[in-house]
Amino acid sequence: MYQIGICDDDKILCAELEETLYRVAEKLSVKVEVEVWYSGESLLCDLKKGTSLDIIFLDIELTQQNGVAVGSFIRNEMEDLETHIVYISGRESYAMQLFCIQPLDFLIKPISEEKLKEVLERSLKQRQNENLYFEYRKGNSVCRIPTKDIICLMSEDKKIRVVTQTGESTFYGKLKKIAETLPPDFVLIHQSYLIHQRYVREYAYDAVTMMDGTVFPISKPYRKIIRSKIRQSQREGTKVES
Amino acid sequence: MNRNVLVIVIVNLLRVLLLKTMVEQILPARKAEERRRQAGIALYYLLTLVLYGIFGMTAFYEAGSGLGLFLFTFLYPGSLIKRFWASLVVFCMDLASGMTVSCGLAQIGEDAVWDSGMVWAVQTLLLLLCTVIMKVRWKAGAEEGSGEEDVVLEKRQVSILFFLPAVSGVVLCVLQNGTTGGTERLLISAAMLFLNLCTFSLYQTMTVENQNIRENEIYRQQTYAYQNQLEVIMESQNRIRALKHDLKNHILALRALLRKQDWEEADRYLNAMQDFMGNPQEYVSTGNDQVDSLLNDKLRKAKNLLNTVEVNVTIPEKLILHSFDLNVVLGNLLDNAMEAAGRTQKKELKLDMKLEKGVLFLTVRNSCQGIADGNVRRLETTKKDGADHGLGLGNVRRIVEKYHGDMEVRSENGYLETDIMMYRKEL
């Protein structure tokens, strides 16, 4: 069941969006459950109680707790990077803070069914890629962690340090070989750093800043490949569109 | 005699290196290929020594060393004519300084017999002086311009620049084989040296000027775009004011329709109001003034010219970009796309621009004809005045490279797609 949330103070729009979403889901033959909130506070209240959503359509211009505040609460306070946030707005201009929340997309009212279908498809596709596991040997036991949780892998001498959202672990291995087995959104940016693009906050040509603020340098020989990787992942994100 | 040979061998090394420096004042060098150029200049050094060893200071030697210099310039990027011109200027300066020194020395001590090594040494000193002058002038010039390389000069300018060293070369050759007396010889060769130095200086001034003219053109376009944007904003304001003015009437009308429960008519009425409020001139309103004004101006032209124009822009309001460079990129891409699409049946143009994770993505897609499918390395301009059409895709590519970005031009099924990524931090 795909959990969808809508948060907008315009009740008519919410009803319309809900209806369209059910229709689109039927066309895509996915089971969804749509829940609606009319204010940022009520949404935050439920999220705190443990409501979890796969995707939330969030109005930017909510009255009290606006979309930026709600978004940054989800990302920063709750440390939830998995919920896809789609901003909806009547205007075309966006504040810089919105881009830090890494929304899946921006939609301008009125929202067409086509566009909604495209966004939902993209969300579903990204979610699908998350059910992969990374296996490694530590001593005599084999460890298994979901690849979606891995932030980065670092090589130190002959050991590999794997950093996930919940903690760290080390094992023996070769970074280059590991890079080949992981999904394409893992990128080698340095001979001893393998990062997960999902956890990148900002790229520069010579460094990447991760969500937690860590900065990794991109060494010279890798810069060209990184450029094409960035473009590739961007193109894949929008491919469904055209 | 042996000592003399040793002096020539040493001094010639210095002279050849000076010639290389001079060439590099005209032809900008890329750092990457320095090794090859060093090898090239070493070859040239050996060539001059061998030629001098065989022929002595004769026309054969001069011709050989001139040709060698021209071949050496092939290690630098630049058009054939520019390379030829550069080697000609440097060669003439070398020749003129050599003649000036030999005549001058002959004038000073008519009785003394000067070693050829001495002549070489003094000539090299003179060359050094010229190089220093060139360098000082160039620095002053480079600070004025933004240091852009490979500026396209107009044909007329090129021909003037070309004839000056060519004529001086002819004069020098005649002089060398002629019977003109000592003092005149000295004066003429010194004058030729000065003339060549001036030519060089003229070239630098022209480069800087052309750069300025080009920048002014861009600023002029930008001003024009801003003006257009101002009009667009005022038009939007006016529409909203007009609507506000009539709001009371609209409310009354709507209320009447609602009371009648005529939903369809009410819906139509609301749509009409919305249409009235929207400004057809305002295609983009991201809140980013620079981008808005440029895009609204270009898109207005595009809408007049083309059938379908689709724009998707998602960038932050206060995205700080180096507007000059962004304008060059956006302006050129849209101009090119508009032109190409205008010549096709479909007349389609699509622009996508978005910021994600600190990376600015820009995609322009237009219908086009006559380009084979696949990745396009280089697009030939279809305009006739190639020199005047300098502000093209090459400039875009250069700016993208300046910001460590990446650019790809693809062609498929009659569409040309230009795909650019640039890092925001650099912009």
What DSSP letter does each residue of B85-135 carry, written as one string?
Answer: HHHHHHHHHHHHHHHHHHHHHHHH-SSSPPPHHHHHHHHHHHHHHHHHHHH
A92: closest chain B residue by CA = B286
CA B101, B105, B110: angle at the middle one, nearest 5?
150
The residues, any chain, with a CB within 8 Å of residue B162's CB and separated by 6 or more, are: B81, B85, B88
Q: Give me the amino acid identity at A75.
A: R
Q: Which helix (H) or strand (E) segment is B233 a member of?
A: helix B182-245
Q: How many CB atoms lie within 10 A of CB A177?
A: 9
- pLDDT given for residue B385 in this prediction: 41
Residues of chain A with Cβ-Cβ distance to B351 below 8 Å are none
Q: Are B422 and B405 in contact (CB under 8 A)?
A: yes
Residue B356 near chain A (CB below 8 Å)? yes
B201-220 mean pLDDT: 80
- Give the per-residue pLDDT at B140: 58
Conformation bin of residue B269: beta by default, left when phi > 0, alpha when psi is -120 to 50:
alpha
Given a cut of 70, the residues of chain A with pLDDT beneath it are: 237-242
Fold of domain A133-239: OB fold (Dihydrolipoamide Acetyltransferase, E2P) (2.40.50)
Instruction: Check: CB of residue B301 under 8 Å from CB of residue B338.
Output: yes
Helices B247-259/B182-245 angle, 10° precision? 50
Question: What pTM was estimated for this model as a whole?
Answer: 0.64
| Confidence (pLDDT) at B329 | 84
Any A CB within 8 A of B352 CB: yes
pLDDT, mean of residues B321-341: 80
CATH class of A2-128: alpha beta
CATH number of B283-427: 3.30.565.10
Burial B57-96 (b: 16+ CB within 10 A, else e): eeeebbebbbebbbebbebbebeeebbebbbbbbbbbbbb
Neighboring chain A residues of B358 at a CB cutoff of 8 Å: 201-204, 209
Alpha-carbon distance A118 to A238, whole Å? 9
Mean pLDDT computed over every residue of chain B = 78
* Cβ-contact A149, A164 below 8 angstroms: yes
pLDDT at residue B146 above 50? no
What pLDDT is stored for residue A142 in this prediction? 87
Q: In sequence order, which residues have a C-beta less than 8 Å from that of residue A42 and are 6 or more positions away?
A: none
Could you say which DSSP state residue A77 is in?
A: I
Q: What is the CA radius of gyration of chain B?
A: 32
Of residues B263 and B28, the one with the higher pLDDT is B263
**Rounded Cα–Cα distance for residues B244 and A177 (Å):** 66
The Cα A159–Cα A153 span in angstroms is: 10
Taking CA atoms, what residue in B is nearest to A224? B406
pLDDT band at B148 (very low <50, low <70, confident <90, very high): very low
Helix (H) or strand (E) holding A22, with range, is helix A11-27
| CA distance linking residue A86 with residue B314, whole number of Å | 13
pLDDT at B380: 52
Complex ipTM, two decimals?
A: 0.76
Q: Which member of B314, B318, B421 has the closest CB to residue A231?
A: B421
- Residue B379 is predicted with a pLDDT of 56
Q: How confident is the model at residue B236 (pLDDT cuts 50, 70, 90)?
A: confident
**A12 in reach of chain B (CB within 8 A):** no
Mean pLDDT value of segment B102-116: 71
In this structure, what is the dihedral angle of CA atoms B31, B35, B41, B46, given to the nearest 10 degrees?
170
Distance in angstroms (rounded) separating the CA atoms of residues B394 and B378: 9
**What's the confidence (pLDDT) of residue B113?**
63
Give tens-digit pLDDT for A179-202. Answer: 888 888 888 888 889 999 888 888
> Averaged over B193-211, what is the pLDDT?
82
Angstrom distance (rounded) from CA B423 to CA B324:
16
Tell whether A233 lies on the interface with B, counting CB pairs under 8 A.
no
Which chain A residue is nearest to residue B356, measuring alpha carbons?
A99
User: CA-CA distances (angstroms) from residue B68 to B12, B43, B44, B231?
Assistant: 15, 9, 6, 61
> Using CA atoms, how far apart are residues A2 and B121, in angstroms rounded to an integer?
86
How is A184-238 classified by DSSP, letter by letter? TTEEEEETTEEEEGGGEEEE-SSEEEETTS-EEEPPGGGHHHHHHHHHHHHHHHH
In chain B, which residues fall in CATH 3.30.565.10? 283-427
Indicate whether B124 pLDDT > 70. yes
Choose between A238 and B412: higher pLDDT: B412
CA B2 to mean position of chain CA atoms: 50
pLDDT of B389 > 70? The answer is: no
Residues of B with Cβ-Cβ distance to A90 under 8 angstroms = none
Give CA–CA dist B66/B72, Å, rounded: 10
Q: Distance between CA A147 and CA A133 in Å, rounded?
A: 5
